[in-house]
Structure 1
Amino acid sequence: MSEAAAPIPFGINLGFCVKRWVSPELWTRVVRERLGLDLVQFSFDLVDPMWPDAVLERHAGAVRREAQASGITIHSAFIGLAHYTFNQLLHPDPAVRDYAEEWLGRAYRFAAMAGIPRVGGPLGAIASRLDGTEAEAIEPADYAELIARMHRLGARAGAEGLSELYVEPTPLRREWPWTIAQARQMMNDVAGSAVPWRLCPDWGHGTFEPLYGPGEGAMEPWFRELADVITAVHIQQTDFVLDRHWDFAVPGKVDPLEAAKLLRATGIAPAPVFLEVFYPFEHDDMSILKALEASSALLRQAFV
């Protein structure tokens, strides 16, 4: 097999398990027995790093034990939707930013105990303006403080023994980064971090046409211009109109075969690709499992 045609590692983000298959005894069986996968990205929607230490240690042990017993590799852990709803490291109150930094530090500690070597996600959002206008960039002072916090977090991750931290670019002007140039600048500014910061772009973020313009949303520029700092990717089915996070049982504009071709052509492969989908809480479990089974089979076939 040629290097260009080597299989692309494919797994799933566990965000779909929220309020459903919440324990490792449950999600490991869903991943292995229903989806036929052995690679996952853990979600901190399943564990709150601010739980008491004894509770965190018990859950970390269970995650490590059940994953090993099931033959599942946990590549990384992402912050999840619950923490993402807060403004985190860019909240207007510095005390809240401090709390968000501590939250991430404790997330690193949990990951280390659970045998997860990487942690990441979006970093935060500034507050909206009263007149509804959105700036093209966050304030320089906010950005400088964010970079300082990222360096501190790199040191803390290093102390926990982690190997990599992730930033997930999002298609919001109030978050950072949302352009290729911003992402490159950020990666340059944290280049000396004790643990390297890398990017995990999302197929529904770089293709978001309401932000980038009709016909301007595309993953190829992100992959080509940032290939040296991208070491994981999120894939979803979407329509380029909203950040849908649909599974591939839903019609959309993302073609798995074309996605695989692009990943190889831009040199992103063999970085792992994770299906990241979310469902309404009232959605029934059986239909979710069937849709994920079909989606996983389709993407596995495309990435071999």
Structure 2
Amino acid sequence: MTGSQPPSMQLGINLSFCVKRWVTPELWAPIVREQLDLDLVQLSFDLVDPMWPDDVLHDCARDIRAAADQYSIAIHSAFIGLAHYTFNQLLHPNARVRDVAEEWMTRAYRFAGLAGINRVGGPLGAIASRTDGVEMDSIPASDYDDLIARLNRLSVAAQRSGIVELYIEPTPMRREWPWTISQAQRMAADLAGTPVPWKFCLDWGHATFEPLYGRYRARMAQWLQDLAPHVGMVHMQQTDFQYDRHWDFTETGAVNPAEAARLQREAGLANQPVFLEVFYPFERDDASILKALAHTISVLKPAFA
């Protein structure tokens, strides 16, 4: 409606910034609530490995629930994180390794359920590179079929753990899947009707990667519009469209928060949460990170309010 206030959007933060630093909920919860003034987070499995012993995982889940209650923080979802992403996961050339990755995800769902988190997601995996360096335009059909079968099984496993929504994060690499809008649309159709629905998490550093998509075709607006019925959330970062930077907004880049919020609203996705996802060098000092995060949130909040 002309002249009306645009709908407010949910702004949260992925706990990627906590890796190797604020690794327990007793540490990250007060930072999120008291220093950043946020009440919505996305847990990273860089902080909790689902393969840890069950008694350790039960205690971690208990502590996460307690901290979330104490600081009035909603944990929207849990995402794979960097550590597990470095493996080829569900597209590894060895089928037995794919089995292990499938079991890893099943345990991730179980842990999320214990911690009171009912949504889980992340990138799916990567096929191996060729020895001649040539990258194909799509993964082999047999790998795709196997991936769809595993995602169907994982949906069943997720339902057993109380998960209500699962997410696939497209990445800008030909060895991963999906990396184009048409591939994502095909996958959405092939996964329609699973017990727990699969949605997409769109990332500002992925959809705008010009070296892969081309300068004039790397546009987040197209991803948001064409995949709107299947989008469950957005990852926000500052980037230059040349690499998947995951910068905060103290850096100079090409992402304008107000424009990003406008595009998401115009795609009819104002009701889908936005999570800042930033990574820092492990050797950077803690105080400068907290200062940069506070500045970044002060930049993002007016855009998504």
User: Does the TM-score normalized on the shorter chain lie above 0.5?
Assistant: yes
Tell me the amino acid that sits aligned with residue 50 of structure 1: M
1:19-30 residue pairs with structure 2 within 5 A?
19-30=20-31
Deviations 1:152-192 (A, max 9, x none): 00000001111000000000000000000000110111112
Tell me the amino acid that sits aligned with residue 298 of structure 1: V
Q: Superposition RMSD on alpha carbons, in Å?
A: 1.1
SS at structure 1 position matched to 2:9:
coil
Q: Distance in 2 between matches of 1:299 and 1:146?
A: 36
Q: Distance in 2 between matches of 1:47 and 1:192?
A: 30
1:224-303 residue pairs with structure 2 within 5 A?
224-303=225-304
1:108 and 2:109 are equivalent in the alignment:
yes
1:133 and 2:134 are equivalent in the alignment:
yes
Query: Which residue in 1 is equivalent to 2:146?
Result: 145
Determine if contact 1:227/1:268 at 8 Å carries over to the other structure: yes
Tell me the amino acid that sits aligned with residue 205 of structure 2: G
Q: Distance in 2 between matches of 1:289 and 1:257?
A: 23
- Count of matched residue positions in the alignment of Structure 1 and Structure 2: 304
Determine if contact 1:204/1:243 at 8 Å carries over to the other structure: yes
Q: Distance in 1 between matches of 2:206 and 2:168?
A: 13
Query: Which residue in 2 is equivalent to 1:99?
Result: 100
Q: Distance in 2 between matches of 1:216 and 1:284?
A: 38
Query: Which residue in 2 is equivalent to 1:49?
Result: 50
Cα distance change, pair 205–4 in 1 and its aligned pair in 2 (3 A): farther
- Give the Å deviation of 1:233: 0.4
1:82-93 residue pairs with structure 2 within 5 A?
82-93=83-94
Deviations 1:118-172 (A, max 9, x none): 0000000000000000000000000000000000000000011110000000000
Q: Distance in 1 between matches of 2:86 and 2:152?
A: 23
SS at structure 1 position matched to 2:265:
helix
Determine if contact 1:11/1:275 at 8 Å carries over to the other structure: yes
Runs of 4+ in 1 over 6 A off after TM superposition: 1-4
Deviations 1:85-125 (A, max 9, x none): 00000000011000000000000000000000100000000
Which structure 1 residue ranges, 5 or more long, are not aligned?
A: none
Query: Which residue in 2 is equivalent to 1:60?
Result: 61
Q: Distance in 2 between matches of 1:121 and 1:4?
A: 33
Q: Distance in 1 between matches of 2:216 and 2:276?
A: 24
- Give the Å deviation of 1:4: 6.7
- Give the Å deviation of 1:3: 8.2
- Give the Å deviation of 1:268: 1.4
Cα distance change, pair 125–114 in 1 and its aligned pair in 2 (3 A): same
Tell me the amino acid that sits aligned with residue 208 of structure 2: T
Cα distance change, pair 3–271 in 1 and its aligned pair in 2 (3 A): farther
SS at structure 1 position matched to 2:270:
coil
The percent of aligned pairs where both chains have the same amino acid is 62
Q: Distance in 2 between matches of 1:4 and 1:261?
A: 12
Determine if contact 1:4/1:264 at 8 Å carries over to the other structure: no
Tell me the amino acid that sits aligned with residue 53 of structure 2: P
Tell me the amino acid that sits aligned with residue 275 of structure 1: L
SS at structure 1 position matched to 2:204:
coil
Which structure 2 residue ranges, 5 or more long, are not aligned?
A: none
SS at structure 2 position matched to 1:231:
strand
- Give the Å deviation of 1:215: 2.3
